[in-house]
Amino acid sequence: MDRSNEIQIDAKGIYNELHNEFTDHGNNLMVMSHLGEFSQELVNSLSEGLEYIMDQREVKRIIIKRMFSIMIEGLQNVRLHGKANLLKKQLGHVMIIEKNGMFSVSFGNIVDEQGKSILTKHLNKLNNMELSEMKGYYLDVLGNGDMTDKGGAGLGFTTIALKSKSKINFQFLEYEEDSYYFEMRIELL
Q: In this structure, what CATH number is given to the domain that contains residue 87?
A: 3.30.565.10
Pairing of strands 169-174, 102-112: unpaired
In the prediction, which pLDDT does 8 show? 45
End-to-end CA distance of the chain: 48
Q: What is the per-residue pLDDT for 4?
A: 39
**3-class secondary structure for 1-56?**
CCCHHHHHHHHHHHHHHHHHHHHCCCCCEEEEEEEEECCHHHHHHHHHHHHHHHHH
How many domains, in total, are found in the chain? Answer: 1
What are the two backbone dihedrals, phi and then psi, of residue 16, each rounded to the nearest 5 degrees?
-60, -40
Strand partners, 103: 98, 188
The domain of 88 spans 4-188
Examine the pLDDT at 103 and tell me if it is beyond 90.
yes
pTM score over 0.75: yes
